[in-house]
Chains A and B, each alone.
Chain A
Amino acid sequence: MRAAASERVLVLLALLIVAVALFASTFGQTFSGGGDVAQQPMFFPRIVLGLWAALALAALVQAVLAGEGVAPIASWTRIGVVLLAIVVYANAIAWEGFFVPSVVFALVCLPAFGIRNPLVVAAFAVAVPGALVALFNHGLGMPLPTSRFTYLF
């Protein structure tokens, strides 16, 4: 319970710090706009960031006072693996194309969600991305990013 409450305080604190940091960053730059508020690029963002900071502070106070808990995490390993896999996957497509990272992602993600049969995992991991590549790259002529080895996938 206490750990959960502190997780919430931590998140809200982070949101508050980001808002303040972004607000501070709006004063460092110079822009071409004149004196009119409508001509100032930072006029609107400053209002929004000010509001953000105020609301984050209010939510923080609420969280500290109420101390309500968050849903427990069933398996830290699983959420850790899936989260990391998604982030790496989103990055890898730019460098390695769509097919190869997709296969690897499915090979990691399916067992994490509890599929144990290696044959099923391998078949899904190759068939689904393969079908997408066949459809978009070769059927419709609107290719997904391709790998460094060949333009075929």
Chain B
Amino acid sequence: MRTQTLSVLLGAALALPAAAQDFPERPINLVAPFNAGGGTDLLLRGLAPHFAEAIGGDVFVSNMAGGSGTVAASALQGQRPDGYQLGYFSVTVSTIQPQIKNVPYGVDSWTPICSVAASPSMLFVNADSPFQTMDDVVEAVNAAPGEYVYGSSGPGAMTHLTTVAAFAGLGILDKMKHLPFQGSGPAIKELTAGNIQFFGDTEVLMQRGDFRPLVVFNSERLENYPDVPTATEVGIEAPLNELYLWGGLFAPAGLDEDLADILEEACEVAVNSEGFAEFAESSGTVIRYRGREEFDAFFRDQYEANQVLIDAAGL
């Protein structure tokens, strides 16, 4: 009791907001904008214990699914920025959806805390497909316009943007058909069955089937696939040449600087912890930490750059 009074007095004396001194004095909620058991949810559940340890308080994960993640982001945007509610948003939730839907949030609605993970996306075909290179694809599509079909897990999803980046970058998008599915599962099934010829996703998902990657949207070739060319190498120009499925923690805009600093530091410790590295290793997560300032700049840059993709996709 006495120490508590003392610390309050001390806080007042140092003219620091009491909130930052005692933060966190109750459990912190990490919001996954998708269902329990999905990729995003599990990543967050993998991070949560390390985050809790780093910040010295309780942390729990809650799920608020729906609308491709926009429902959770819209709800969080309207919350008081007290630091107790953070959302884990991906590139699509934070930069694509707000530009194609009339949601109540935009680029200025957030205080980005840190980025956690980022995986380059790849375009791939079935293993028995005749296509070995992107040149084969361009040739075949030009020879038979309207014949070839690319799939996606839904309009505006990462899978959709990957195919758009590839085919718009090579100027053949208008000569192909787009077949959206609900989720990657059914789309991958149709790729195996041959009803669609192309699909794009991250390395982890591609490994689920007998698929052959044709191009990777990364700045350099991947360690596991040294023979697969980057988008730049096959002639896809910026800004369509790099595409990452990234995600990070966001708080509502207007978060107190001191609280943001505390959260950022905890995030850095958690993401770089040994336990999380182990988790990432086994789950195929590619860790990519960025601090507050760096992440803010990156996020704003992506918001702008993805405008080109959205226009190309006709969304």
Direct contact of A and B (CB under 8 A): yes
When distances are taken between beta carbons in the complex, the residues of chain B under 8 Å from A32 are 314-315
Interchain CB contact under 8 A, B314 and A142? no
Q: How large is the interface on A (under 10, 10 to 19, 20 to 34, 35 or more residues)?
A: under 10
Chain B's nearest CB lies how many Å from the CB of A152? Answer: 9
Q: How large is the interface on B (under 10, 10 to 19, 20 to 34, 35 or more residues)?
A: under 10
A-B contacts counted at CB < 8 A amount to 12
Chain B's nearest CB lies how many Å from the CB of A119? Answer: 34
When distances are taken between beta carbons in the complex, the residues of chain B under 8 Å from A141 are 58, 60
Which residues of B199-248 have CB atoms within 8 Å of chain A's CB atoms?
none
Q: Known contacts A32-B314, A32-B315: does B27 contact A142 (CB below 8 Å)? A: no
Q: Looking across the interface, which residue of chain B has its beta carbon closest to that of A141?
A: B60
Q: Known contacts A32-B314, A32-B315: does B62 contact A151 (CB below 8 Å)? A: no
Interchain CB contact under 8 A, B62 and A142? yes
Q: Does A129 contact B (CB under 8 A)?
A: no
Q: Known contacts A151-B26, A151-B27: does B314 contact A143 (CB below 8 Å)? A: no
When distances are taken between beta carbons in the complex, the residues of chain B under 8 Å from A151 are 26-27
When distances are taken between beta carbons in the complex, the residues of chain A under 8 Å from B314 are 32
Chain B's nearest CB lies how many Å from the CB of A45? Answer: 17
Annotate A138-153 by CB proximity to B: 1 below 8 A, 0 otherwise. 0001110000000100
Interface of B is mostly: loop
A151 to B60, CA, bound (A): 13
Annotate B272-315 by CB proximity to A: 1 below 8 A, 0 otherwise. 00000000000000000000000000000000000000000011
When distances are taken between beta carbons in the complex, the residues of chain A under 8 Å from B29 are 143
Interchain CB contact under 8 A, B26 and A142? no
Q: Looking across the interface, which residue of chain A has its beta carbon closest to that of B314?
A: A32
Interchain CB contact under 8 A, A143 and B62? yes
A76 to B72, CA, bound (A): 40
Which residues of B244-284 have CB atoms within 8 Å of chain A's CB atoms?
none
A143 to B64, CA, bound (A): 13
Interchain CB contact under 8 A, B315 and A142? no
A19 to B315, CA, bound (A): 29
A32 to B58, CA, bound (A): 46
Q: Looking across the interface, which residue of chain B has its beta carbon closest to that of A151?
A: B26
A142 to B26, CA, bound (A): 14
A151 to B80, CA, bound (A): 14
A141 to B63, CA, bound (A): 12
Chain A's nearest CB lies how many Å from the CB of B65? Answer: 14
A32 to B101, CA, bound (A): 12
When distances are taken between beta carbons in the complex, the residues of chain B under 8 Å from A142 are 60, 62
Q: Looking across the interface, which residue of chain A has its beta carbon closest to that of B60?
A: A141
When distances are taken between beta carbons in the complex, the residues of chain A under 8 Å from B27 are 143, 151
Interchain CB contact under 8 A, A143 and B315? no
Q: Known contacts A32-B314, A32-B315: does B60 contact A143 (CB below 8 Å)? A: yes
Q: Looking across the interface, which residue of chain B has its beta carbon closest to that of A32?
A: B314
Annotate B1-39 by CB proximity to A: 1 below 8 A, 0 otherwise. 000000000000000000000000011010000000000
A151 to B26, CA, bound (A): 7
A143 to B84, CA, bound (A): 14
Q: Looking across the interface, which residue of chain B has its beta carbon closest to that of A34?
A: B314
Which residues of A105-145 have CB atoms within 8 Å of chain B's CB atoms?
141-143
A142 to B58, CA, bound (A): 12
Which residues of B23-78 have CB atoms within 8 Å of chain A's CB atoms?
26-27, 29, 58, 60, 62
Chain A's nearest CB lies how many Å from the CB of B83? Answer: 13
Q: Looking across the interface, which residue of chain A has its beta carbon closest to that of B84?
A: A151
A32 to B314, CA, bound (A): 8
A32 to B60, CA, bound (A): 41
Chain A's nearest CB lies how many Å from the CB of B25? Answer: 9
Chain A's nearest CB lies how many Å from the CB of B6? Answer: 24
The 5 closest A-B pairs by CB, nearest first: A151-B26, A141-B60, A32-B314, A142-B62, A143-B60
Q: Which residues of B are in contact with A by a Cβ distance under 8 Å?
A: 26-27, 29, 58, 60, 62, 314-315
Q: Which residues of A are in contact with B by a Cβ distance under 8 Å?
A: 32, 141-143, 151
A-B contact pairs, 12 of them (CB 8 A): A32-B314, A32-B315, A141-B58, A141-B60, A142-B60, A142-B62, A143-B27, A143-B29, A143-B60, A143-B62, A151-B26, A151-B27
A sample of 9 more A-B contacts (CB under 8 A), given A143-B60, A143-B62, A151-B26, is A32-B314, A32-B315, A141-B58, A141-B60, A142-B60, A142-B62, A143-B27, A143-B29, A151-B27
